[in-house]
Structure 1
Amino acid sequence: MVNDPAHLVVMGVSGSGKSTVAELLAARLRRPFAEADEFHPPENIDKMAAGEPLTDDDRWPWLRTMRDWLTAQSALHQPAIVTCSALRRVYRDVLREARGTVLFVHLSGDPALVGERIGDRSGHFMPASLLPSQYQTLEPLGTDERGVTVSVEGTPEEITTEVIDGLGLGAEPTSWPGGSQHGVD
């Protein structure tokens, strides 16, 4: 539908700053925000906390729950923001099934920088030991996938501004104005 909202999925490996950037985007664009970790069943969290990577069988229900949350936001005519690693295209395909337009914001960074950030944070169940497996799994956005890729080397505020400008969301956050990055037309 033309009037369906444009949702943002802030994606990337653990430690890339998804939550920080998504919270800033939600505040600046006045959109509801959900953290992917909130959608994980306890079994997934226990598995990751033990240093065991999730399997696709672990991920499918989690991804469908996020897709359904985005669809529920569309029913309210509300563009929303969700964080999700969305490392593989097939995972993004599930999220793209949500009603409305789904745009991806890939936060991309050097493994050493991201690893340092993971080491500096506390209170998160994702150990730094799983970071190499995430980079091995990561499939960057394809040229036919709608969204932008932004480096995580700037400040969170700079990254947020780059996302908003890259997606053309500064003037009208509730519609999709077009652009030129990653299949944006």
Structure 2
Amino acid sequence: MTIVIIMGVSGSGKTTVGKRLAEALNWQFIDADDLHSPENVEKMSRGIPLDESDRLPWLMAMRQQISAWLQQDKNVVLACSALKQSYREILDCPLEPIKLVYLKGSQAVIEERMRSRSEHFMSPDLLNSQFEALEEPTPEEAIHLDVSLPISEIVERIVSLVQGPA
């Protein structure tokens, strides 16, 4: 079993890539945004960044979910911002099969994407706070993929990482 965590700032394509990856692998897809409390969603939709006390219960809920998937031998793709190293440490399961994929892009490219999408609670005004909070994982910790690549190419690269050489 494998858990693939797709991380990056809001607007980097985590959900789009995650859904397509899960479909390509025939795995379950979960968006960590769905695990936020209604209060967190309300805050972000009003352009108010979350603080650590808002995030900790959300991170712990994901950690519990990851543990459950591993116990159930489930293969899952999880889209989760995981912006800080300390957040990733909460989500990490030592000696267990978790692969981290970092969707990396410039603030200008991602801001344009955010302004063009509709029906998402995250305000584009919060993008600055996302980039300020971002602690990029090292290449040893995560595979880095450029968000400007075609979605199909990003998915193909992740599939090859997960499945290994043909």
Residues 40 and 99 (structure 1), Cα distance of their counterparts in 2 relative to 1, 3 Å cut: farther
Measure how far apart 1:171 and its partner are: 5.6
Asked whether the 8 Å contact 1:71–1:99 carries over to 2, the reply is no
The question of 1:150 aligning with 2:145 is answered yes
* 1:9-158 equivalences in 2 (<5 Å): 9-97=5-93, 100-145=96-141, 147-158=142-153
User: Which structure has more RCO (C-alpha within 8 Å, separation ≥ 6)?
Assistant: 2
- Render the CA deviation track for 1:56-108: whole Å, top value 9, x for unaligned: 11111101111111211112211211111000000000110388322111000
How far apart are the structure 2 equivalents of 1:128 and 1:110?
14
Percent identity (aligned):
38
SS at match of 2:122: coil
Partners of 1:95 and 1:102 within 8 A in 2:
no
Say if 1:97 and 1:61 are closer, same or farther in 2 by CA, change over 3 A.
Answer: farther
Answer yes or no: is the 8 Å Cα contact 1:12–1:87 preserved in 2. Answer: yes
TM-score, structure 1 as length reference: 0.84
The DSSP-based 3-state class of the residue aligned with 1:105 is strand
Matched letter for residue 53 of structure 1? P
Structure 1 residues 98, 65: CA separation in 2 closer, same or farther (over 3 Å shift)? Answer: farther
Aligned CA distance change for structure 1 residues 59 and 104 (closer, same or farther; 3 Å): same
More off after superposition, 133-142 vs 95-104: 95-104
State the shift of 1:139 in Å: 0.7
Amino acid at match of 1:96: D
Deviates more, 1:62-71 or 1:109-118: 62-71
Aligned length: 166
CA contact (8 A) 1:67 1:98 kept: no
- Give secondary structure in 2 for the equivalent of 1:162: helix
User: Which residue number corresponds to residue 182 of structure 1?
Assistant: none
State the alpha-carbon separation in 2 of the partners of residues 143 and 150 from structure 1: 10
Give the structure with the higher percent helix: 2
The ranges of structure 1 where at least 4 consecutive aligned residues each deviate by more than 4 angstroms after the TM superposition are none
